[in-house]
Amino acid sequence: MRSIRFALLATAATFAGSVVQAQAETKDMRIAFSNNYAGNSWRQAMLKSYDAETKKAVADKIVGAADVFTTADKEVPTQAAQIQNLILQGYNAIVINAASPDALNGAVKQACDAGIVVVSFDGIVTEPCAYRVTVDYKDLAEKEVDYLAQRLPKGGNLLEIRGLAGTSIDDDFHNGILAGLKKHPEFKVVNAVEGDWDETTAQKAVSTVLPSLPEIVGVVDQGGDGYGAAQAFKTAGRPTPIIILGNRQDELAWWKEQKDASGYETWSASSAPGVSTLAFWVAQQVLDGRKDIPHDLVDPYLAFTQKTLDAALPKIPVGGVASIEYSLDDAKQIINANLKK
C-alpha cells in the first residue's frame, strides 16, 4: 500500500524543506509499546507494521530497542500495571494504545514525572503531558451518516455496531453517529450492539437482535464488523442493507463480489493500522530533541469508494487491512503539516 498516500502527506510534502533536523542522539534510547488488545485483524496488522518499522530502526541504530508489550486482557488495571512496570524498567519513551482515555492518566503522569516521553495513538489518553496521534473518528462516523443520506434521501432505520467499550475510539465513533443523526433526522438508530471490532463477535451480536428489528436500511459501525454483519443478515434471510465497511480485506472482497453480482454500493473507511509506526517516530523525534511537536497530531483516515475498490483490493493481504507504514520522513512531513494548521 506504499503507493497510497493520504491528502495530508501530499500537502505536507511542500513543507519538507523546513523540517527541523535531529538535535540529539537516540541510538541508545529504548522505546516500549504498551498495547491493550490484539484480538482482531486491525490490531494484528498494527502490530505487524510496528514490528517491521521498528526492527529496521533498531538495525539502523536509530534507537536501541523498540519492545512490544500486549496485555493479556482488555482491562485498564492490567495496562496501568504494565505501564508502571515499564517505568521501573527505565524506558525512555512509551507508545500507548490505551484501554481508556482517562483511567490510565495516573500511570501516564507517573511516566511523564519520571522523564519518560509518552505518545498515545488510536486509543488515546487525555493526560496533558502525553502526546496524542489521533484520527478524527467522530468525523469519519459523521461521514457514514452523510453517505447514507446521499444514498437514501427518505431515511429509515439504522443498526449501530459499537466497538470496544470504554475506549476513546468507541466514544468518538458514537458521538459522530449522533452528530450525523442530528443533521439527518430522517434516520433513526433502532438498536445498537457491541461488536468489539471483530467479525465473529459482530455476527453473533447482530444475529441475536435481528429477529426483533424492523426493516433496516443501513448499518453504521466502526470497522472489523462489516462482514460479520453481512453474514448475519444473510443467515437470517433478510435483505442486505447498506453496510458501511472498515477496510478489512474480507469485507472489501465481499463488497466486490456483491458489486460484481448485483451492483451493490457502499463506502469503506478506517484509520491505517500503520499509524502505530507514526506514533513510534513521534516518540523518537521528541527524544531526539525536537521541541515544536504539537501534543495533538491528526492523521487522516483511508477511504475507498465504488470507483477505487477494484484497484485497491489486490494490494491488501488476505486476512489483512488496508494500511500504510510511516517512515521517519513521513512522520516529519505530518508533523510539519500539523504545524501549518
Cell output for 116: 519518560
Q: Residue-wise pLDDT tens for the chain (341 aa)? A: 444 444 434 433 333 333 334 444 899 999 999 999 898 899 999 999 999 999 999 999 999 999 999 998 889 999 999 999 999 999 999 999 999 999 999 999 999 999 999 999 999 999 999 999 999 999 999 999 999 999 999 999 999 999 999 999 999 999 999 999 999 999 999 999 999 999 999 999 999 999 999 999 999 999 999 999 999 999 999 999 999 999 999 999 999 999 999 999 999 999 999 999 999 999 999 999 999 999 999 998 999 999 999 999 999 999 999 999 999 999 999 999 999 87
pLDDT on residue 74? 86
Q: Look-up: residue for cell 510534502?
A: 13
The span from the CA of 86 to the CA of 142, in Å, is: 37
pLDDT at position 38, please? Answer: 92
Q: DSSP string spanning 235-298?
A: HTTPPP-EE-B-SBHHHHHHHHHHHHHH-----EEE--TTHHHHHHHHHHHHHTT-----SEEE
Residues present in the chain in total: 341
List the domains of the chain with CATH numbers. 7-135+272-300+323-339 (3.40.50.2300), 137-270 (3.40.50.2300)
Task: Quote the pTM value.
Answer: 0.84
Instruction: Please name the residues in contact with 292: beta carbons below 8 A apart, sequence gap of 6 or more.
Output: 20, 335, 339
Instruction: Check residue 11 and give its pLDDT.
Output: 36
DSSP string, 164-175: STTSHHHHHHHH
DSSP code for 22: P
The confidence score (pLDDT) of residue 72 equals 80
**Given this model, what pLDDT does residue 25 score?**
85
- Name the residue with cell 470507483: 307
